[in-house]
Chain A
Amino acid sequence: MNSPFVTCRNLVKNYETPTGSLEVLKGVNLEIQSGDFVAIIGPSGAGKTTLLNMITGVDKSTGGEVVVGDRRVTDTPQPQLVKWRAQTIGIVFQFFQLLPTISVADNIVFPMDYANVHKPAQRRDYALSLLARLGIEDQAVKRPDMLSGGQQQRVAIARALANEPPLIIGDEPTANLDRMSTENVFNIFRDAAARGAAVIITTYDREIVANVPRVYELKHGVLHEVKSDRRALA
């Protein structure tokens, strides 16, 4: 068996609040291989986003470690994570978080420019090909606020895929989408995993949960694997 691409060992995260310390993650252990498509479920406030933030290095853990690829994320200073993150992880935010003042295509070229991925002359073509793959190539020159929620989310996914990262993370990527859009987004993630990327999403969507091969539930700060069906990916 290959070594896991994402490893969380005994991951602990506490928040200090006016009412005392709040333990959100209580020693989470997780191993994800390249090509895995993993969903993390749990009630609101369970710490799903916190766990994703630990993996992407956006937030600091209170204890334990996170290793992505060959980098110990928990030990790496933030400035060193910026370019690494851009090249390694594609993040899809819950509320899309597109840059509103530049066009859809420019939103996708943006991470390529800053991570210096692909040749500069090919970046726009690649962005357009991603949009085409997602069925919204005709929206390329529009600004994001002119698109529907589903279209915006597809743009956000295209942006996450732009640098062809080995790890894709989606924080409730379908929370604001209709059924058809949700299916579309799911298919994109599944294709990415099929091409070898590790994909981790958090979701409430029962249909997604039904179709994702591996599902973990985060409850009371502890992660439990509730489903493991690698064949489903195929």
Chain B
Amino acid sequence: MNRSTFRKIWGDLWTRKSRTILVSVSIFIGVLGVVTLITAGDLLVRQLKADVKESELPMLAANVVVPPSEGDVTLDDATYLDALTEAFPDITAIEGSSNNPFYWKLPDEGRFREARLFAYTDAMSDKPVEPMRLVEGDYPQPGQHQLVVEQRMADDFDLSVGDAIDVRMLGEDEFPTETWTISGIVFHAYNQLSDQSMYALYDEAPAATGVSGLSTISARFDDFAQAEANKDAFQTFVNDNTPYSALIVQATDPADNAAIQSSEDFALILSVLAIVSMLVSGFLVLNVINNLVTEQRRQIGVMKSLGTTRGEMFVIYGGIAVSYGLIGVIPGVLLGIPLGYEMAVLIGDFANTLIDTFAVSTTAIALGIVLGLAVPVISAVIPVYIGTRVSILDAMTDLGIGGGYNVGLLNRTIKALPVPLNIKQSLNNLTQKKARLALTVITLTLALSAFMGVSAVFVQINSVLQDILDTFGYQIIFQTTQSQEFEPIQTLLMDNIDGIAEVYPGSGGIVQLEGYISESNQSSQMLVQGIVPETAMTDSTLVEGTAWENDPEREGIVLTNEITNSIGKGVGDTVTLIANGQRLEQEIIGVVNYPIPMGIMPWEDLSRLTGFTLGAPTPNQYFTGVQIDDYSGTLPGGAITAWGVDSQAAGFVTMLDGSPITPGQPGVMLTQAAADAGGYAVGDTITVRAGDCMATGDPDAADPAVCTATVPITGIFMPPSQMASSQIPQDMMAIYWEDLATMEGLNLNGEPVPNAFFVLTQAADPTAREVDGLIENVNDLLVDNGITASYTNMVEIADQASDAILSIGIVLNMASFIMAAVGAIGLITTLSIAVFERQKEIGVMRSVGAKSPTIIMQFLVEGLLVGIIAWIIAAPVSVGLAWGITEILPFGEFIQFDYPPVMLPVGFVGILIIATISSVWPSVSAARKTVSDILRYQ
């Protein structure tokens, strides 16, 4: 490059500083977008790949429980795991874990918080599956009442190594509070509940959770095919050879890890948005260089006459483009690196990972530099090629003998339009510079489409967030540790605590939904909230159906759309709920959009389904005395203990002879002691008397047809081990609980009682902190009255859900801002060039009496027309873009594509504003110049 080339490049950049700044700012924004968005995606995926390794993921995961029929069995989990390893030689690693809720609080807090306590059969430091990393401190030591906290929970609650916490010991009588110490902070990438997770030693966890035994058995095999092939055998082995029952065994290919997959998808979106923003920048540069070579047409002719070849011309204009790129790239990269890191940290929360060490993405930097420099140069190639093709003669004579302006159909049409002359000039200018018009429209269309499409997704996300906040009309749920009647609690709270608008009874429970398999845990169980229909929901949150809006007494269930989509049912269809051995068919009367798959139904119905009733016997916990004719056992007068069981318990007990009873068919099972005492065998028939038919009953009220039954003995069973150690006599009879209750004349349903209380605050839109304060007051009052309870802050839960989704929204918003900025700068640059190009025309117009508003109007019309054309094209494109982004985003069924119509007027008004500013700004500055200033310019 010779000195004159450098001087020419520098001269063009320096003498047209505002253009240089505008183009460079546009490239800067494009590069900033590329580096920031790609850095964020890259760091996120890199961190997830570092945290979540294929080689550490389980291939089979069995959710296990000890069925009630096993009784108080002593578990030997290590032996069971060894047996599994021996039975399946292809297993390369196996681990048992427990995961149960427990309650903790800081020593100075009044109420307990709920969290999950994890424990593993292997040492935490040596977990063979899904290992964790000790960040600080030590793992718990036996007998020290120690636990470790997941780093993200520690961050949320400001917990440190050495801190003491109060733990409610659910495994001990009266649930005493003990002080445990945090011995360490761990990072456990595989834990999806990281912000509410603590870890204890396997032997010590049951005391805190009240639950013994494993929740999950996880295993790795030599390869996934073997894991899949052994899935059923694995389940059968657990059921047959351990006290556990494997409810669900899930085979998951580690190569298809959902977290990594969704992060890669998200990173892809970020990259696409980044590339689009760079593309928009590229079109802007293309436009600018095109204008530049057009504007310098005469100079090109002169340079050619002075010996500059086309190749050398390429160097000059390519050099200008590279310079624009360099000026934009350097700050774009420097600023994009920290911004990308911060964004990765922000999204990390959503993706369940933790990025706590500053890192740079060389890919993002390289892409930013290459795109920032290459895009302008590539963009410059075509306009420079075309521009420099001009001959010296053509360059020196714009118009001449062959001039053909204003002769086309379009020009004749414009000429005939009944509009002022300056508007006609605007229209003529647009049609004469068709290439510029096309490039400007393309640039603006790209920017506007991206802005409207991305914003549409953002608006949709916000709308769903609002639904989340509006779904439930109450802010606090609390569950008492012991059953409480509703009215006394309501009176106590309403009379003593300010800020409570209403207290409602409610319930909550886990219910099995027939035909449903949860995407997240492959379970058929779902959470169901029992509510007061007329107060808790409004139809504004329903995406389908009317729920209880018109009929609060209506029977039915409302489901979240993830569930309805999963089971392929909608409003009007019927679903079957199973809980506590009971089946309940319910009509779907509404669908809500909520991030947690759940059902909502009237609380009384739920309480009945889950067995929270008073006055009715509870299956399996139903023991009463009956008489058997001609029987003589431990109890006097032919009496025997009758155990009312449901079909599930009947199926789980160990049969010594015969078969279990079947609901709906008459029959009883006897223990061996009872059979021996009565001299009975399977197939014998006995007459049972209960309630009023017993000698101790009311003979006048007795209806032998009801309280007496002659039934066959279907089998001899072994009582569960915990019964063996209880005071219950060994000679015992088991009978289906509904039959027993009928004989005793008891109400099968009983009266439902709430197992939860919902509190509605007086403040319409309280913050999570304000709700926390109210919870403290409620807890203090209840404790003073001898009532303990656990609390859920619904505002906090909604905030947490919102934060996660909002972090993606912020990223999208940033991307749409980049698009809008690049588009606006593009239009400003183009119109500035148009104004500059026509300074002489402006000077002449002013010299013949045209005032500033006339000149400004001319450019304004041009800008508005370009903007409107871009909007017309961008509107349908943005709909497609919004659909694409919604499909790729890792929201599943939660956020579905729905283009908010408001985006169309927003886009239109936005483009009008940008077009107005872009037109008025340069034309005002031009209109301010004196005639002599303008006309003396060469």
Scoring B residues 9 to 33 as 1 if CB is less than 8 Å from chain A, else 0, what string do you get?
0011011100000000000000000
Counting CB contacts under 8 A, is B302 at the interface? yes
Can you pick out 20 interface pairs between chain A and chain B where the beta carbons lie within 8 Å of each other?
Answer: A58-B396, A79-B309, A82-B307, A97-B301, A100-B938, A101-B8, A101-B12, A101-B15, A102-B4, A103-B11, A106-B4, A109-B4, A110-B303, A113-B5, A114-B4, A114-B303, A114-B306, A114-B307, A115-B307, A159-B306
Q: How far is the CB of A42 from chain B (nearest CB, A)?
A: 17
CB pair A145 B937 closer than 8 Å: yes
Neighbouring A residues of B16 by C-beta, 8 Å: 101
CB pair B302 A99 closer than 8 Å: yes
Scoring A residues 55 to 83 as 1 if CB is less than 8 Å from chain B, else 0, what string do you get?
01011000000000000000000110011
Q: Indicate which residue in A59, A91, A102, A163 contacts B7 across the interface (CB closer than 8 Å).
A: A102
CB pair A111 B307 closer than 8 Å: yes
Counting CB contacts under 8 A, is B264 at the interface? no
CB pair A98 B938 closer than 8 Å: yes
Q: How far is the CB of A109 from chain B (nearest CB, A)?
A: 6
CB pair B938 A113 closer than 8 Å: no
CA distance A30 to B454 in the complex (A): 70
Q: Which residue of A lies closest to B936 (CB)?
A: A145
Q: Indicate which residue in A15, A85, A98, A152 contacts B402 across the interface (CB closer than 8 Å).
A: A15
Counting CB contacts under 8 A, is A26 at the interface? no
Scoring B residues 895 to 938 as 1 if CB is less than 8 Å from chain A, else 0, what string do you get?
00000000000000000000000000000000000000000111
CB pair B307 A87 closer than 8 Å: yes
Neighbouring A residues of B312 by C-beta, 8 Å: 114
CB pair B309 A110 closer than 8 Å: no
CA distance A94 to B402 in the complex (A): 21
Counting CB contacts under 8 A, is A126 at the interface? no
CA distance A79 to B304 in the complex (A): 10
CB pair A111 B306 closer than 8 Å: yes
Q: How far is the CB of A160 from chain B (nearest CB, A)?
A: 9
Q: How far is the CB of A232 from chain B (nearest CB, A)?
A: 29
**Which of A53, A91, A99 has the most C-beta atoms of chain B within 10 angstroms of its own C-beta?**
A99
Counting CB contacts under 8 A, is A2 at the interface? no
From 1 to 33 in chain A, residues with beta carbon under 8 angstroms from any chain B beta carbon are 15-17, 22
CB pair A99 B309 closer than 8 Å: no
CB pair B11 A58 closer than 8 Å: no
Counting CB contacts under 8 A, is B726 at the interface? no
CB pair A143 B307 closer than 8 Å: no
Interface size on A, residues (CB 8 A): 41
Counting CB contacts under 8 A, is A93 at the interface? yes
Q: Which residue of A lies closest to B397 (CB)?
A: A49
Q: Indicate which residue in B3, B14, B15, B936 contacts A109 across the interface (CB closer than 8 Å).
A: B3
Neighbouring A residues of B12 by C-beta, 8 Å: 101
CA distance A115 to B4 in the complex (A): 11
CB pair B392 A110 closer than 8 Å: no
Interface size on B, residues (CB 8 A): 33
CB pair B8 A99 closer than 8 Å: yes
**Which of B2, B8, B302 has the most C-beta atoms of chain A within 10 angstroms of its own C-beta?**
B302
Counting CB contacts under 8 A, is A86 at the interface? yes
Q: Which residue of B lies closest to A115 (CB)?
A: B307
CA distance A83 to B937 in the complex (A): 30
From 528 to 544 in chain B, residues with beta carbon under 8 angstroms from any chain A beta carbon are none
Neighbouring B residues of A82 by C-beta, 8 Å: 304, 307-309
CA distance A97 to B307 in the complex (A): 15
Q: Which residue of B lies closest to A149 (CB)?
A: B936
Scoring B residues 302 to 321 as 1 if CB is less than 8 Å from chain A, else 0, what string do you get?
11111111101000000000
Neighbouring B residues of A135 by C-beta, 8 Å: none
Scoring A residues 143 to 156 as 1 if CB is less than 8 Å from chain B, else 0, what string do you get?
11100000010000
Counting CB contacts under 8 A, is B401 at the interface? yes
CA distance A17 to B403 in the complex (A): 9
Q: How far is the CB of A125 from chain B (nearest CB, A)?
A: 13
**Which of B14, B308, B938 has the most C-beta atoms of chain A within 10 angstroms of its own C-beta?**
B938
CA distance A56 to B308 in the complex (A): 15
CB pair A110 B936 closer than 8 Å: no
User: Top 5 nearest A-B pairs by Cβ distance?
Assistant: A86-B307, A101-B11, A114-B307, A113-B4, A102-B11
CB pair B2 A114 closer than 8 Å: yes
Neighbouring B residues of A120 by C-beta, 8 Å: 2-3
CB pair A22 B401 closer than 8 Å: yes
CA distance A193 to B309 in the complex (A): 29
Counting CB contacts under 8 A, is B608 at the interface? no
CA distance A59 to B305 in the complex (A): 12
14 additional A-B pairs beyond A100-B299, A101-B12, A110-B306, beta carbons within 8 Å, are: A58-B391, A58-B393, A86-B306, A86-B307, A99-B8, A99-B11, A102-B4, A103-B11, A106-B11, A109-B4, A110-B7, A111-B306, A114-B4, A114-B312
From 156 to 189 in chain A, residues with beta carbon under 8 angstroms from any chain B beta carbon are 159, 163
Neighbouring B residues of A109 by C-beta, 8 Å: 3-4, 7
CA distance A16 to B14 in the complex (A): 42
Q: How far is the CB of A166 from chain B (nearest CB, A)?
A: 15
* Contact A102:B8 (CB < 8 A) given known A114-B312, A120-B3: yes
Q: Which residue of A lies closest to B3 (CB)?
A: A113
Neighbouring B residues of A78 by C-beta, 8 Å: 391
CA distance A102 to B10 in the complex (A): 8
CB pair B8 A110 closer than 8 Å: yes
Q: How far is the CB of A63 from chain B (nearest CB, A)?
A: 18
Neighbouring A residues of B936 by C-beta, 8 Å: 145
Counting CB contacts under 8 A, is A96 at the interface? yes
Counting CB contacts under 8 A, is B116 at the interface? no
Counting CB contacts under 8 A, is B298 at the interface? yes
Q: How far is the CB of B560 from chain A (nearest CB, A)?
A: 65
CB pair B15 A58 closer than 8 Å: no
Neighbouring B residues of A59 by C-beta, 8 Å: 393
Neighbouring A residues of B401 by C-beta, 8 Å: 15, 17, 22
Q: How far is the CB of B311 from chain A (nearest CB, A)?
A: 10
CA distance A126 to B937 in the complex (A): 28
Neighbouring B residues of A102 by C-beta, 8 Å: 4, 7-8, 11
CB pair B3 A85 closer than 8 Å: no
CB pair B393 A53 closer than 8 Å: yes
Neighbouring A residues of B298 by C-beta, 8 Å: 97
From 265 to 307 in chain B, residues with beta carbon under 8 angstroms from any chain A beta carbon are 298-299, 301-307
CB pair B938 A83 closer than 8 Å: no
Neighbouring A residues of B310 by C-beta, 8 Å: 79
Neighbouring B residues of A111 by C-beta, 8 Å: 306-307
Q: How far is the CB of B373 from chain A (nearest CB, A)?
A: 22
CA distance A188 to B4 in the complex (A): 25
Q: Which residue of B lies closest to A102 (CB)?
A: B11
CA distance A86 to B401 in the complex (A): 28
Scoring A residues 108 to 152 as 1 if CB is less than 8 Å from chain B, else 0, what string do you get?
011101110000100100000000000000000001110000001
Q: How far is the CB of B403 from chain A (nearest CB, A)?
A: 10
CA distance A220 to B441 in the complex (A): 49
Q: How far is the CB of B778 from chain A (nearest CB, A)?
A: 76
Q: Indicate which residue in B2, B302, B396, B402 contacts A113 across the interface (CB closer than 8 Å).
A: B2
CB pair A97 B396 closer than 8 Å: yes
